[in-house]
Amino acid sequence: MMMDQEQMDRMHQNWSRMNHMMEDVPSTKSAQERRRLLEEHQEAMEEQMELMHRNMMGPGAGNSGMMGQGMMGGQADNNQRPGNGADMSSEERLQFMEERMNQMQLMMEQMLRHQQQLDKK
Per-residue pLDDT of the chain (121 residues; tens, 9 = 90+): 466 788 888 888 999 999 999 999 999 999 999 999 999 999 999 999 988 888 776 544 444 443 444 444 444 444 444 455 667 889 988 888 888 898 899 999 999 999 999 988 6
The set of residues, in sequence order, having a beta carbon less than 8 Å from that of 109 and lying 6+ positions away, is: none
H or E segment and range at residue 105 = helix 90-119
The set of residues, in sequence order, having a beta carbon less than 8 Å from that of 79 and lying 6+ positions away, is: 86
What pTM value is reported for the model? 0.68
Q: Tell me the one-letter amino acid at 114.
A: H
Residue 23 CA to residue 72 CA, distance in Å, equals: 37
Residue 71 CA to residue 16 CA, distance in Å, equals: 26
